[in-house]
Amino acid sequence: MSLIAELREALGDTGCLTGSAIGEAVRSDASGTGRHLPKALLRPASVAEVSAALAICHRHGQPVVPQGGMTGLAGGANPGTGDVVLSLDRFAGVEEIDARGGTMTVRAGTVLETAQRAAADAGLLLPIDLGARGSCRIGGVIATNAGGLRVIRYGTTRDNVLGLEMVLADGTVLSHLNRAVKDNTGYDLRGLFIGSEGTLGVVTRAVLRLRPRPAAMETALCALPDFDAVLALLERARAGGVVSAFEAMWADYFALNERLAGASLFAETPPFVVLMEMEGALEPVLEAAFADGVVTDALLAQSEREVQAFWDVREGHAMDAALPGLLNFDVSVAAGDMEPFARDCASAVRTLRPDAFVSFFGHVGDGNLHIAVHLPDAGETEVHEVDAIVYGHVRALGGSVSAEHGIGTLKRDWLGHSRSDAELAAMRAIKAALDPAGIMNPGKVI
């Protein structure tokens, strides 16, 4: 029997689509770099069907590309024409909430926001949160170890997944739906799978940690004279209470997005702006920082609308439309290295192209810096030169070429800037051990 005929038999007609039935959305994630329609789109509706589909593909040596909500930014879920795409959109939903134990068991195809709402309905908080919450799916969030807005308070996705069920390339189901924070029973397969971007298998279910809903939060937008002040404010905030967001914006980034949002927040654009959220106790921190010159001006949000207005500037959703072809970088360096890193990067890019727009913003508390670069009408060669500048500076500082977006295909050639040949060889050995036929998302990450 042919591959497609076997898959149809295992998954039914609705579970195995080909040709024009597949739909255009499978071609590319949010990076917009995917071009190809795959050979088939598989939509298994159960763990048993995921297992059966992978066993068939394994037998045929058929490459499989797992897809979630296609909100990734690294090309990690984009298929080639010879690939089969596997989506868990039909295996969705919250299976159980243990309010007492503070856990939620959820299927991989569940949209993040759906899971967040279910937790809220149970009086709890699902702390994993990112801008794409309305369309990203839990499986993809786990496969990419997605970061986002609340890492400073609650940790990464990896820190919030207690148990995991995944299916290996040959269809073997590894189910460890552990619910306890402490679990030292052999190797941490859970942690290894989280962030492996679909190259080791397919996540089917997970046990996520829930937390008490935070006390009322206070939000402020602070103007600061220099980056030392940014670090000093972070230190004070952490000593003064529970910090739930600490987002720094360099002047160029803030000025552009303030304008695009049609807002006018400070009389003059300060050198640095920090969007800070704390659980209570924000005002005393601000007052002390103001007295010491760490903060030169500050706006305390008085309503949900003001909170949203601050976040709109920070999230900068209007940038992509205003600056077509905008290049987005996601790196990490030590907090103390951030300011010189930004200065040197900007200067090197502007030497390459004096008309370049270079702006920085980031989750300073997590060591995570984003860089938005715009070179009007840049060609592929120039884009590569900018990549080389940014990742070269990251390497020199021992930083990470991907803090939260993952490697996918777009950063694969730069992974060696953060990882040694010996580390890449160890990763390849693990990959070969768990996926000997090499069918899981080939060509991605390593």
| Interface positions, 129-148, toward a copy of itself (CB under 8 A) | 144-145, 147
Residue 180: helix, strand or coil by DSSP? coil
Note whether 434 binds a copy of itself by CB under 8 A. Answer: yes
CA angle 312, 313, 317 (to 5 degrees): 65
**Cβ within 8 Å of residue 277, ≥6 positions away:** 217, 218, 219, 220, 243, 244, 245, 246
CA distances from 230 to 274, 346, 377 (A): 7, 19, 34
Contacts with a copy of itself by CB under 8 A: the residue count is 84
Subset of 194-253 contacting a copy of itself (CB under 8 A): 194-196, 200, 211-212, 231, 235, 238-239, 242
Residue type, 116: Q
Subset of 149-178 contacting a copy of itself (CB under 8 A): 151-152, 155-156, 158-159, 168, 172-178
- When the beta carbons of 33 and 172 are compared against a copy of itself, the nearer one is 172
Q: Tell me which of 20, 24, 186, 377 binds a copy of itself, using CB under 8 A.
A: 186
Note whether 406 binds a copy of itself by CB under 8 A. Answer: yes
Q: Which residue has the tokens 């938005």?
A: 372
> Site map for a copy of itself, 329-368, x if CB under 8 A?
---xxxxx--------------------------x-xxxx
Q: How many angstroms separate the CA atoms of 237 and 3, rounded?
A: 58
- When the beta carbons of 173 and 352 are compared against a copy of itself, the nearer one is 173
Return the range that interacts with a copy of itself (CB under 8 A); candidates 17-25, 192-200, 266-274, 295-303.
Answer: 192-200
- When the beta carbons of 3 and 173 are compared against a copy of itself, the nearer one is 173
Note whether 415 binds a copy of itself by CB under 8 A. Answer: yes
- When the beta carbons of 8 and 107 are compared against a copy of itself, the nearer one is 107
CA angle 301, 307, 313 (to 5 degrees): 115
- When the beta carbons of 65 and 445 are compared against a copy of itself, the nearer one is 445
Would you say 147 and 368 are in contact if contact means Cβ atoms under 8 Å apart? yes
- When the beta carbons of 37 and 372 are compared against a copy of itself, the nearer one is 372
Q: How many angstroms separate the CA atoms of 204 and 224, rounded?
A: 45
CA angle 308, 277, 309 (to 5 degrees): 15
- When the beta carbons of 98 and 320 are compared against a copy of itself, the nearer one is 98
Q: How many angstroms separate the CA atoms of 15 and 9, rounded?
A: 9
Would you say 292 and 273 are in contact if contact means Cβ atoms under 8 Å apart? no
Nearest to 48 by CA among 19, 91, 96, 80: 91
Q: Closest separation between CB of residue 138 and a copy of itself, Å?
A: 17
Note whether 183 binds a copy of itself by CB under 8 A. Answer: yes
Subset of 3-62 contacting a copy of itself (CB under 8 A): none
Q: Are strands 161-167 and 173-176 parallel, antiparallel or unpaired?
A: antiparallel
Note whether 180 binds a copy of itself by CB under 8 A. Answer: yes
Subset of 75-104 contacting a copy of itself (CB under 8 A): 98, 100-103
Q: How many angstroms separate the CA atoms of 433 and 196, rounded?
A: 14
Note whether 63 binds a copy of itself by CB under 8 A. Answer: no
Q: Closest separation between CB of residue 181 and a copy of itself, Å?
A: 4
Note whether 315 binds a copy of itself by CB under 8 A. Answer: no
Note whether 422 binds a copy of itself by CB under 8 A. Answer: yes
Return the range that interacts with a copy of itself (CB under 8 A); candidates 7-15, 61-69, 113-121, 411-419.
Answer: 411-419
- When the beta carbons of 159 and 306 are compared against a copy of itself, the nearer one is 159
Nearest to 7 by CA among 79, 58, 68: 58
Centre a 10 Å sphere on the Cβ of residue 400 and count the other Cβ atoms it contains: 18
- The alpha carbon torsion through 281, 282, 287, 292 (nearest 10 deg) reads 110
- When the beta carbons of 155 and 443 are compared against a copy of itself, the nearer one is 155
